[in-house]
Amino acid sequence: MNKATVSAPGKLMLLGEHAVVYGYPCIVTAISQRLEVSVSTIDDIPMDRRFIDAAIQAWGDGKDYLFSIKSAFSGKYGFGSSAAVTVATLKTMRPTVENRVLFDAAYKIVLDVQGIGSGFDVAASTYGGTLYFVAAGKIIEPLSVQEVPLIVGYTGVKADTTSLIKQVAEKKEKNPEKVERIFQAIAKLVEDVKPRMLEGDWERVGKLMDFNQEYLRDLGVSSEKLEALISAAKKAGAWGAKLSGAGGGDCMIALGSGEKRDAIQKAIADAGGQVIDVQPNAEGVRVEI
Ligand code: PMV
């Protein structure tokens, strides 16, 4: 294996979380915060690093590779560090691999380790941009959107994705028709939002995000803190705002025009959120050197 450094972006879910686990579509965007994986053969490492070699041989799987990981974002934000590290690490070993092959391999690993997940985060890390995505990569459609006027607020609370997915599954078990109706309504929002995003009608996209948030609330995955940040952003003039990802914590997102951005960010901070500077629609996995 040659020496290689590969970086992959994190992600934010724009619309369609939870429903996507049940085969409905979602929209995800790759973000400017990236995670970098470097790999080198033992031959490339200076002599003193042989101590590391010895340590890896003692507890490792016997292969002579050294991986190091650098991330521009903390795992606590819910930006998809597990998917990004899986995609980037695989690509260090096959730098010219096709995206589809990479996606399938990375998704399989994420499923093996995590047991559950639609793979939207793996798709964002692999392909980048903004994607219309159906679970397990049945559809991965890049959307050529121009500048998404996104504002991101972190609640300070780490979401537990697996238990929130379970919580929704239990709700569905108890109340299958109601939950199925919610999923179908979310899926319709995702279909409606697609052309609006392509046209750059962010005001309408914001409205559809608001509707999506109502359904997420009905599913029981919002939280007081998320609601506080969402309502602060909206009072400050956001076109729309919702939780992003599993819910329970992590981040909320809002859309807002240029002149309102400062006010929206201040409102989120005043409500106890941490505004994170995130550029959406970022490039997918890439070889750095
Ligand atoms: O918690 P996150 O940011 O990884 O988002 C989870 C989104 C879900 O739709 C709930 C799960 C999934 O894998 O799609």
Burial of residue 65 (CB within 10 Å: 0-12, 13-18, 19+) is middle
- Of how many residues is the chain composed? 289
* Max Cα-Cα span within the chain: 65
Statement: residue 210 has pLDDT above 70: yes
Ligand 1 binding site (Cβ under 6 Å of any ligand atom) = 13, 17-18, 20-21, 78, 117-118, 120-121, 159, 161, 165, 245-246, 250
**Shortest-distance Cα residue to atom 3 of ligand 1:** 245
Question: In the predicted model, what is the mean pLDDT of residues 281-285?
Answer: 98
At 231 the pLDDT is 98
**Shortest-distance Cα residue to atom 1 of ligand 1:** 246
Q: Confidence band (pLDDT; 50, 70, 90) for 74? A: confident
**Of ligand 1's atoms, which has the minimum distance to the CA of residue 168?**
10
* 212 or 58, greater pLDDT: 212
In the reported structure, the alpha carbon of residue 65 is separated from the centroid of ligand 1 by a whole-number distance in angstroms of 32
At 182 the pLDDT is 98
Q: How does strand 240-244 pair with strand 251-255?
A: antiparallel
**Shortest-distance Cα residue to atom 5 of ligand 1:** 245
Q: Confidence band (pLDDT; 50, 70, 90) for 42? A: low
In the reported structure, the alpha carbon of residue 191 is separated from the centroid of ligand 1 by a whole-number distance in angstroms of 19
Whether this prediction's pTM lies above 0.75 is answered by yes
Statement: residue 156 has pLDDT above 60: yes
Dist. CA 282–CA 130, nearest whole Å = 8
What percentage of the chain's residues is helix, strand, coil (to nearest 5)? 50, 25, 25
Pick the range with the lowest mean pLDDT from 88-97, 189-198, 239-248. Answer: 88-97
Of the candidates 138, 8, 160, the residue with the CA atom closest to the CA atom of residue 86: 8
Of 44, 61, 104, 121, catalytic: 121
Encoded amino acid at 11, one letter: K
**Shortest-distance Cα residue to atom 2 of ligand 1:** 245
Token representation of residue 234: 């909206």
Q: What is the pLDDT of residues 101-126, one digit of tens each?
A: 999 999 988 888 888 999 999 999 99
At 41 the pLDDT is 66
In the reported structure, the alpha carbon of residue 121 is separated from the centroid of ligand 1 by a whole-number distance in angstroms of 8
Q: Confidence band (pLDDT; 50, 70, 90) for 52? A: very low
At 188 the pLDDT is 98
Annotated active-site residue 121? The verdict is yes
Q: Is-contact 268 275, C-beta < 8 A?
A: yes
Residue with tokens 């724009």: 14
At 1 the pLDDT is 52
Which of 85, 103, 118 for mutating ligand 1's site (highest number of atoms within 8 Å of CB)? 118
* 94 or 191, greater pLDDT: 191
Q: What is the pLDDT of residues 185-194, one digit of tens each?
A: 999 999 999 9
Work out the mean pLDDT of the chain and round it to a whole number.
91
Which of 122, 155, 161 for mutating ligand 1's site (highest number of atoms within 8 Å of CB)? 161
Alpha-carbon separation of residue 258 from 235, 251, 262 (angstroms): 16, 21, 8
At 63 the pLDDT is 65
Burial of residue 203 (CB within 10 Å: 0-12, 13-18, 19+) is middle
Of the candidates 185, 205, 203, 187, the residue with the CA atom closest to the CA atom of residue 195: 205
Beta strands in 21-167 (DSSP E): 25-41, 65-71, 130-134, 139-143, 150-154
Of the candidates 222, 195, 224, 225, the residue with the CA atom closest to the CA atom of residue 210: 222
Statement: residue 47 has pLDDT above 50: no
In the reported structure, the alpha carbon of residue 40 is separated from the centroid of ligand 1 by a whole-number distance in angstroms of 33
In the reported structure, the alpha carbon of residue 94 is separated from the centroid of ligand 1 by a whole-number distance in angstroms of 27
